[in-house]
């Protein structure tokens, strides 16, 4: 069943429609830039927030954890809401909540207030990301045209991450941590003002707007339990009662979700959708890519700061070559997909990850930036751009338009879950090998072993890459 689009701009044809689509892409990428910038800056501002609000380390960590849990847990619901209620409408609601939570975070007078605000910020992100990506899918024709748009979307992630690393310390030191949040307010307001003029509304008018409440509650609680268990497993112990209980609850709830969806007249996630080859393989690849990216990013930060003695700001500058290289990798990846198909390009990206992590598994205690890190970080960034763009394109290929919001939410959820697994993996391996020692040789051995674990993950990714379609589907454009 094809959706009926309201106020839709033709995908091809007039110069004015081309300009409008370009304006829509710029706006969507800018919104993505703001969300990623916000996430990166908050990490760097966390010590200042902790000191000013008098939070102990465990409470301060909840500023990040609360956001991650609500974001990861609500992505599928946010994507389906965009399909049923209107993609532009849900995008605007998400931007409005983003504005409110930024304002409240900036004027927060206690730790409890900022933690609640960041949890609500996760809700806004769960509305914004899938709705924005599904608008992009419905604005650009599948194939070369959409591949370029997705490459731009992925490249903006690298730019946002770089800007966060470079600006976070500067804003916090110069203006105070409050401005990390307050700077969002006028920018988000401007995006909300422009959005109705450049974004088209779309939804499936032929489908009854009936939410699968049972399915939504089940998958949200399951995803929340899974993300929380993975994120806290290294700290609490994988064999601890709370972690085992959370994993058991997640498994039981996922099983219940499948049963509910099979019997529902209007399922949140139709099981036929999950049987699409591109959806299955693309999201599996996205999980592995996220594992490697998040895991390596944590190791870069820990090694430069704990072993080489860099400050947080200096570490941000040192690793900024990675997201900059990812911008180039994204555009290289989409160009080769058009010519060579999914399988070859994904294989190149995962091979690059494996080689890079193998090089980094030899990092010395007395490392030098240009000798031991610079080339590896650049290669890692190129591989990131290629692999993430490929996984995104595959996961969104051959998806029916009425399911585009759901597909976008699932792709983003796969990245979040994979990232949590990657962080847990490198943390567990490094702490186990170093035996909790803070001596620099022991810390370095732990980081080396963690990079070897990521090499193994890259090998798994290569196997998944072999299951991808040899040629990209519908390369019109």
Cα-based angle 401, 405, 410 (whole degrees, multiple of 5): 120
Lowest mean pLDDT segment, chosen from 24-28, 79-83, 142-146, 222-226: 142-146
Read off the pLDDT of each residue in 128-146 and give the average, rounded to a whole number. 83
**pLDDT tens, 402-458?**
777 788 888 888 888 888 888 888 888 888 888 878 888 888 999 999 999 999 999
Identify which has the larger pLDDT, 39 or 465. Answer: 465
Mean pLDDT score, 23-31: 86
Identify the CA nearest to 401 among candidates 204, 113, 265, 238. Answer: 204
Q: What are phi and psi of 476, to 5 degrees?
A: -85, 160
Q: Which domains does the chain have, with CATH numbers?
A: 11-199 (1.20.1250.20), 213-267 (no CATH), 272-477 (1.20.1250.20)
Measured distance CA(369)–CA(290) in Å, rounded: 25
Q: What tens digit of pLDDT does each residue of 268-308 get?
A: 778 887 788 888 889 999 999 989 988 888 888 888 888 88
pLDDT for res 476: 37
Residue 252, pLDDT score: 95
Residue predicted with more confidence, 4 or 143: 143
Q: Which residues pair with 476 in a beta bridge?
A: 143
Q: What is the DSSP string of 121-152?
A: HHHHHHHHHHHHHHHHHHHS-TBHHHHHHHHH
**Could you tell me how far CA 30 lies from the centroid of its own chain?**
15
Percent of the chain with pLDDT strictly greater than 90 = 19
- Please give the Cα distance from 37 to 43 (Å, whole number): 10
This prediction's pTM: 0.82
Instruction: Tell me what pLDDT residue 210 has.
Output: 63
**pLDDT for the residue numbered 477:** 36
- Give the model's confidence band at 11: pLDDT under 50 very low, under 70 low, under 90 confident, else very high: very low
pLDDT winner (highest mean) among 70-79, 142-151, 365-374: 365-374
- The average confidence (pLDDT) of the chain is 82
Percent of the chain with pLDDT over 70: 90
Mind listing the pLDDT tens digit for each residue in 49-81? 888 888 876 677 788 778 877 887 788 888 888
Residues β-bridged to residue 143: 476
DSSP 334-356: HHHHHHH-HHHHHHHHHHHHHHH
Residue 320 vs residues 160, 165, 294, 302, 448: alpha-carbon distances, Å: 11, 7, 15, 15, 21
> Is a pLDDT exceeding 90 seen at residue 327?
no
Distance CA 149, CA 89 (A): 21
Q: Residues 218-240: pLDDT tens digits?
A: 888 888 888 788 877 877 888 88
Q: Which residues contact 226 (CB under 8 A, 6 or more apart)?
A: 246, 247, 250, 417
């Amino acid at each position: 069943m094809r959706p009926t689009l309201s106020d839709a701009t033709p995908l091809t044809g007039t110069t004015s429609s081309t300009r409008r689509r370009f304006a829509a892409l710029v706006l969507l990428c800018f919104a993505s830039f703001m969300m990623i910038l916000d996430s990166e800056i908050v990490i760097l501002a966390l010590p200042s927030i902790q000191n000013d609000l008098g939070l102990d380390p465990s409470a301060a960590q909840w500023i990040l954890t609360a956001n991650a849990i609500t974001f990861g847990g609500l992505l599928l619901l946010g994507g389906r809401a965009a399909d049923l209620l209107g993609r532009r409408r849900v995008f605007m609601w998400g931007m409005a909540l983003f504005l409110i939570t930024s304002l409240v975070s900036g004027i927060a007078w206690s730790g409890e207030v900022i933690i609640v605000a960041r949890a609500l910020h996760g809700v806004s992100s769960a509305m914004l990301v899938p709705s924005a990506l599904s608008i992009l899918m419905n604005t650009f024709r599948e194939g070369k045209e959409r591949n370029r748009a997705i490459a731009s979307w992925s490249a903006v992630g690298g730019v946002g991450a770089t800007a966060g690393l470079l600006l976070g310390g500067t804003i916090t030191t110069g203006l105070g941590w409050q401005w990390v949040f307050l700077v969002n307010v006028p920018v988000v307001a401007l995006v909300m003002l422009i959005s109705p003029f450049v974004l088209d509304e779309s939804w499936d008018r032929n489908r009854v707007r009936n939410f699968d409440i049972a399915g939504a509650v089940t998958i949200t609680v399951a995803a929340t339990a899974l993300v929380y268990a993975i994120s806290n497993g290294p700290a609490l112990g994988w064999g601890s009662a709370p972690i085992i209980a959370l994993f058991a609850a997640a498994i039981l709830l996922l099983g219940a979700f499948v049963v509910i969806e099979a019997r529902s007249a209007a399922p949140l996630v139709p099981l036929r959708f999950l049987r699409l080859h591109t959806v299955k393989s693309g999201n599996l690849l996205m999980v592995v890519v996220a594992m490697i990216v998040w895991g390596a990013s944590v190791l870069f930060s820990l090694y430069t700061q704990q072993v080489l003695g860099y400050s947080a700001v200096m570490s941000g500058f040192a690793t900024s070559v990675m997201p900059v290289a990812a911008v180039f990798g994204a555009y290289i990846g989409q160009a080769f997909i058009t010519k060579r198909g999914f399988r070859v390009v994904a294989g190149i990206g995962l091979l690059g990850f494996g080689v890079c992590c193998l090089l980094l598994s030899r990092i010395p205690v007395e490392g030098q930036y240009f000798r031991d890190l610079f080339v590896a970080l650049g290669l890692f960034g190129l591989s990131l751009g290629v692999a993430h763009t490929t996984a995104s394109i595959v996961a969104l290929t051959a998806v029916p338009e009425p399911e585009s919001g759901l597909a976008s939410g699932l792709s983003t959820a796969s990245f979040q879950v994979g990232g949590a697994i990657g962080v847990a993996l490198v943390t567990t391996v490094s702490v186990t090998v170093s035996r909790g020692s803070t001596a620099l040789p022991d810390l370095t051995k732990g980081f080396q072993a963690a990079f070897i674990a990521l090499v193994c993950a890259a090998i798994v990714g290569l196997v998944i890459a072999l299951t991808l379609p040899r040629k990209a589907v519908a390369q019109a454009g």
